[in-house]
Amino acid sequence: MSTDRSPLALPFPALPAIAGVTPHVARAHYKSWDRCDLTFITLDPGTAVAGVLTQSKCPSPEVEWCRKALVLGQARALVVNAGNSNAFTGNRGRAAVEAIAARIAGRIGCSPSDVFVASTGVIGVPLPIDKAEAGLDAAFAAAPCRWEDAAATIMTTDTFAKGATTQAVVGGRTVNLVGIIKGSGMIAPDMATMLGFIFTDAAVDSAFLQSALAHANNRSFSCITVDGDTSTSDTVLAFATGAAGNAPIVSAEDDGADAFFAALADLCRQLALLVVRDGEGAQKLIEITVEGATSDRSAHRIAMSIANSPLVKTAIAGEDANWGRVVMAVGKAGEPAERDQLAIRFGTTQVARDGLAVEGYDEAPVAAHLKGHEIEIGVELGLGEGRATVWTCDLTHGYISINADYRS
């Protein structure tokens, strides 16, 4: 956890309690931090669960555990460890996850498969079972905590706690959705890009919840990048307790399904943007919109090519409207593009059109736009109807400083 708060940080919002969800925090001493590093959340019986997990071919044991447990569609508890990702730790790492799930299952009276486990931090160091069990015992004895405490506890290089909320009307009942998330570096989507946890009192069938979360992910968590690196531990889980008392949403045709679908998508977008706002060393939030591509998928790939370009990101850090670097990133994406139809804008100012610089364009509004904290880059390809928006941040010396001594 950094002591220098991101200039893009937002205050932690007031989040409502979610009936059927009880968060606790404790210290397991995974690192020498003088703070809590274990979040333990209990969920009432009947809670449905859905999740999206990293596509890394070197996933943590926690990811493998969650992937198997998600098939059953039900949950009773979540534990999140910060400071040690337990990834690339072989049988010792798997044993730690199994021990954690068994200890919680024994405590609350459920199956180990109803317990979801996530860890974040240094790769290659097995999670100490003795510290995990002692931390859990402390969490079992701890009083319920605020959402902000839970969000702060799961942080690593984050500079601020991240949370969001929204509501929907389902079957005449107002349902609440709350999310907490951590993420700052190793952020590039090949699904999800951090640890994020969503809780709702809506009654939602696990299969519908999975479909809704996957859809929301494709337009939020999979549209952000900080550094182009996909973590071994990326996990987003959504839990629905059903305590709101609405008729369960089973399909898209059910009353309130559209409202819930939209609310979940909105919440995921809020959470995703909080991660980019806390990108390691970030000074600027960058929104990149690509239009006129041959397909939405092609537009997304081009937008991500721009967003992951160190040359584009450093130009924005230096407040330099170097649109030639955007051209470069479009060209390298491997997607259909016609040089002489390409148009580029910074903010609302068109700087290039028809493959050329706009003759006599005024750089003053562009320079003013780039001095701000929120930057917009727009690209028009002129080839079709495909469109995508992604978000990234600038690349500064701060990113190097944070990652050069991350293990120390």
pLDDT value of position 87 = 82
Whole-angstrom distance, CA of residue 370 vs CA of residue 348: 12
pLDDT tens by residue, 92-101: 999 999 999 9
The span from the CA of 122 to the CA of 376, in Å, is: 34
Tell me the pLDDT of the chain averaged across its residues: 91
For 84, the enclosing helix (H) or strand (E) is strand 74-84
Residue pair 176/145 in contact by the 8 Å Cβ criterion: no
pLDDT interval class at 190 (50, 70, 90): very low
Phi-psi map region of 407: left, alpha, beta (phi>0 left; psi -120 to 50 alpha) = alpha
Q: Helix or strand or coil: residue 363? A: helix
156 is in an annotated binding site: yes
193 is catalytic: yes
Q: Which residues contact 110 (CB under 8 A, 6 or more apart)?
A: 45, 76, 77, 104
Confidence of residue 403 (pLDDT cuts 50, 70, 90): low
What letter does residue 281 receive in the DSSP assignment? Answer: T
Establish whether 371 is an annotated binding residue. no
Confidence at 194, pLDDT banded by 50, 70, 90: confident
3 annotated as ligand-binding: no
Q: What pLDDT is recorded for position 313?
A: 94
Asked if the model's pLDDT at residue 192 lies above 50, the reply is no
Contact 196, 234 (CB under 8 A): no
- Distance CA(343)–CA(350), nearest Å, equals 8
Residue 188 predicted with pLDDT over 50: no
User: Has residue 231 got a pLDDT over 80?
Assistant: no
Does the pLDDT value for residue 206 go beyond 80?
yes
pLDDT band per the 50, 70, 90 thresholds, residue 405: low
Domains, the chain, ordered by start? 21-275 (3.60.70.12), 285-404 (3.10.20.340)
Amino acid 29: pLDDT: 94
235 is in an annotated binding site: no
Mean pLDDT on 141-158 = 95
141-176 in b/e form (b: 16+ CB < 10 A) is ebeebebbbbbbbbbbbbbbbbbbbbbbebbeeebb
Catalytic-role residue among 89, 165, 166, 193:
193
Residue 408 is labelled as binding a ligand: yes
pLDDT at position 34 over 80: yes
Expressed in angstroms, the distance from the first to the final Cα of the chain is: 13
* Cβ contact 148:180 at 8 Å: no
| High-pLDDT (> 70) share of the chain, % | 93
Predicted TM-score (pTM) of this structure: 0.91
196 burial via Cβ count (<10 Å: 0-12, 13-18, 19+): buried
pLDDT digits 0-9 by tens, 259-304? 999 999 999 999 999 999 998 788 999 999 999 999 999 999 999 9
Q: What is the dihedral of CA 106, 108, 109, 114, to 10 degrees?
A: -90
In this predicted structure, what is the pLDDT of residue 229?
58
pLDDT at 39 over 90: yes
β-strand pairing of 349-353 with 356-357: antiparallel
The pLDDT of residue 289: 98
Cβ neighbours, 10 Å, residue 128: 17
DSSP for 151-197?
Answer: HHHT-SS-SS-EEEEEEEEETTEEEEEEEEEE-SSS---SS--SEEE
At 130, the pLDDT band (50, 70, 90 cuts) reads very high
Q: What's the pLDDT at 193? A: 41
Check whether 56 has a pLDDT greater than 90. no
Query: Average pLDDT in the 235-250 region?
Result: 96
